[in-house]
Structure 1
Amino acid sequence: MAVFLALSAWMTAGVPASADTPGDFDFYVLSLSWSPTYCQDRGRSDRIQCGGPRPFAFVVHGLWPQYERGSPRDCDVGPRSGLPRRLVDSMLDVMPSPSLVRHEWRTHGSCSGLEPSDYFDLTRQAHDAVRIPRQFVDLPDYLTVSPRDVEAAFIAANPGLKASGIAVSCDSRRLKEVRVCLTKDLRFRDCAEVDRKACRNNSLVMPPVR
């Protein structure tokens, strides 16, 4: 019996007691999308981000509650009447897509345990807490980089951030996102699973900011 109990405890270590319950998670991932890559794929169908007057570089994809292994999604927060238009519009400077704002609340924000306004306030705070390296604020031409180069630039710009707490996401040749792991009070932290899933390409292209 003792062996069975010990084995059961080992098998369930690190697994949340009640999966996909609002507020039951370990840390956040702030996902920053490289907007020029997204817009190359979407053309001008996303009129604010890709067809509007303002050019975008790194924008917020989302602030995602995470377990040490896996992540909750689409948590049950009761009847959903949709987000107020004013709240959606208030996020468009950092998340330039109304449909993205709504999707992120439904899929990820619902698992935060926060009210929508508090979740998006926290998302903005997370955005403001991560300094974008100066060379990526306005990129006038195509740039070839390695994932390690991008991580190193973010680490240099953000004291306390370590290589084990940031990951670059890519497609076959282009940089897509940078993901930064944060505690619930938005301090940098390690995240082994996120780091393991990072892009392993030797080099990537960053399309220019239009």
Structure 2
Amino acid sequence: MESKCLLLIYLLVLQSLALLCASQDFDFFYFVQQWPGAYCDSDKNSCCYPTTGKPAADFSIHGLWPNYNDGSYPQNCDSNNPFDASKISDLISNMRKNWPSLSCPSNDGESFWSHEWEKHGTCSESVFDQHSYFETTLGLKQQANLLRALKAAGIEPDGSSYSLENIKDAIKEGSGYTPWIECNEDSSGNSQLYQVYLCLDKSGSNLIECPVFPKGKRCGSEIEFPNF
């Protein structure tokens, strides 16, 4: 009986260690920002403004995602640590401004934040608790001000087309690091600026050059920057 109990304890310890390793084992983060004009122009049927109203015409946060150097990523690492809005109550107004949800039906953003924390944030628990995960991500948006960098290079969200290389160069000039640009298509099939990826080291402290770029939708040499 004693040996069975010891075996059970041993198995439970191994299971706990496996879960702990899963939540700590990653190589870097993708920090992803999204242009709302491209989100809404791609499929207007899936674009709904938040219950707080239309967001500002600025890039919004999509997420901060732990990743491996081989391009794969961990997900849903700790079901025992669900999203709890009370833990970020002091960040809510900032979240609504900089991390809004445009999915339908209209909502207050909490389901989006919950998804991001539970799928991605729980895999970074060796670095962040819930509050520091969201607080750090909000800070990164201020540090990597994409719209300001693009406008400084004369690249405006007015529906015009711009060179992909010029967009990359402008963001690198503004942030100090090479971005990955993901495009989608508007209702007429034109390639447009959709998401921008930058990378963060595994300590969650510093922007870095990306070890590997994602396999998202590639862009043409000329892409639209739609208005919003």
TM-score range, shorter-chain basis? 0.7 to 0.9
Task: Compute the displacement of 1:190 (Å).
Answer: 2.5
Is 2:111 the partner of 1:95?
no
Taking only aligned residues, the RMSD between alpha carbons, in angstroms, comes to 3.0
Change in CA separation of 1:77 and 1:125 when aligned onto 2, cut-off 3 Å: farther
Question: Is contact 1:126–1:186 with CA below 8 Å preserved after alignment?
Answer: no
Relative to the length of structure 2, the TM-score reads 0.70
Instruction: Say which one has the larger Rg.
Output: 2
Distance in 2 (CA, whole Å) between partners of 1:57 and 1:81 is 26
Aligned length: 188
Task: Compute the displacement of 1:126 (Å).
Answer: 1.7
Aligned match of 2:68:
67
Deviations 1:23-44 (A, max 9, x none): 3211111101011111222458
Change in CA separation of 1:35 and 1:174 when aligned onto 2, cut-off 3 Å: same
Is 2:171 the partner of 1:154?
yes
Change in CA separation of 1:208 and 1:63 when aligned onto 2, cut-off 3 Å: same
Task: Compute the displacement of 1:103 (Å).
Answer: 1.4
Aligned match of 2:198:
180
Change in CA separation of 1:44 and 1:67 when aligned onto 2, cut-off 3 Å: closer
Distance in 2 (CA, whole Å) between partners of 1:61 and 1:34 is 10
Change in CA separation of 1:190 and 1:107 when aligned onto 2, cut-off 3 Å: same
Name stretches of at least 5 consecutive residues in structure 1 with no aligned partner: 1-16
Distance in 2 (CA, whole Å) between partners of 1:200 and 1:20 is 36
Name stretches of at least 5 consecutive residues in structure 2 with no aligned partner: 1-17, 102-108, 186-190
Aligned match of 1:207:
226
**What percentage of aligned pairs have identical amino acids?**
24
Question: Is contact 1:142–1:208 with CA below 8 Å preserved after alignment?
Answer: yes
Distance in 2 (CA, whole Å) between partners of 1:152 and 1:93 is 27
Is 2:142 the partner of 1:128?
yes
